[in-house]
Structure 1
């Protein structure tokens, strides 16, 4: 059987995965090294606290399990009913395998406590990696990549993709502003989710027949 070489996207995915593993190692064994990074970014994001409380509390809801779950069900159902079955399977595997199971397992491995800042939202799980960041990167990232299936107008597609990218960034920022995550938690969630997207999307594209 002939083994295909990695695509450029997958090579970048390998880099983001290595970066995630490096960050995870620091969290596990040398957590103190992250303090200057976390403190600097947190101070910057929360520099105008509490003036942006309402905005960021609203944004963060787009990454919570209920919102992600509802959006995932709608997108999966749409893809499946429209006969984009391979896309639906790829989408479901990311939501279930990475955003839900994978991120939950990682939290139990690292068991990082959340920041001691005032929390604008209630959280009960561990801190690393950020589930909202992983979930938004995986779910909204897959939607971003799948938009060409249903949105043929390039200008409209670009606007929607740009909006999704901003939403992903906004959700991660909201977790820092809300006091429930360190910036390194958010970075970890982004890298974990992005690695999945970059490594798996070329595989889906190579076999899909939509």
Structure 2
């Protein structure tokens, strides 16, 4: 689905670029010394090295606390699947980045989809799903879920603000991340259900 949408945006529906370019221009014209550093910080939450680093630390801590390796690797599966789909889509679609004044050096991949948004969505949504299932204290569960739910949106807005992507790139990246996080989480639940009867019979 994402590949089809990307090819349409890069072909028959390229007129959408005109509307999206107006949004990009609006972000360009409204940059300020106050929001520039904030957008830089938000954008970094989706950087490859940050996502991988946070994920590996989380995997180690979760495994140490639970001794369930399948539960611990849920975020790792989510970002790995997201990265695989992202690379396939960016090579297939090859969309140009928006005509903006970039605030960062863009990676040598196409604009569609947003890798920063996809990676942060896959990682933090998997954290959100895991928190909803395992954190018992209501206030702490709500806090973790709220923070993890907001971060991908901040990353997406920051990527638009900094001139790296079209809106449709960010939305596609978010969809990619959501699907991968849900698939990783459901994989664990499926394996847990499959093993439960064996544990009871033993």
Q: TM-score, normalised by structure 2?
A: 0.83
Q: Which of structures 1 and 2 has the larger relative contact order (alpha carbons within 8 angstroms, sep 6+)?
A: 1
| Residue equivalent to 2:44 | 61
Structure-to-structure mapping, 1:81-160, within 5 angstroms: 81-82=64-65, 83-98=67-82, 100-125=83-108, 126-148=110-132, 151-160=135-144
| Residue equivalent to 2:24 | 42
Q: Which moved more, 1:118-127 or 1:200-209?
A: 200-209
Q: TM-score, normalised by structure 1?
A: 0.80
> For 2:106, what is the secondary structure of its paired residue?
coil
- Give the Å deviation of 1:38: 1.5
Return the match for 1:190 from 167, 174, 187: 174
What is the CA RMSD across the aligned residues, in angstroms? 2.3
- Give the Å deviation of 1:89: 3.1
What stretches of structure 1 move > 6 A for 4+ residues in a row?
none
CA contact (8 A) 1:114 1:180 kept: yes
| Residue equivalent to 1:167 | 151
When Rg is computed on C-alpha atoms for both structures, the one with the higher figure is: 2
- Give the Å deviation of 1:21: 4.8
Return the match for 2:55 from 55, 72, 89: 72
* Partners of 2:152 and 2:25 in 1: CA distance: 21
* Partners of 2:159 and 2:99 in 1: CA distance: 13
* Partners of 2:73 and 2:9 in 1: CA distance: 33
> For 1:127, what is the secondary structure of its paired residue?
coil
User: C-alpha offsets along residues 125-155 of structure 1, whole Å, 9 cap, x if unaligned?
Assistant: 2211000010011011111111246532112
- Give the Å deviation of 1:37: 4.2
Any gaps of 5 or more consecutive residues in structure 2? 197-202
The aligned length equals 191
| Residue equivalent to 1:30 | 12
CA contact (8 A) 1:34 1:184 kept: no
| Residue equivalent to 1:14 | none
CA contact (8 A) 1:45 1:173 kept: no
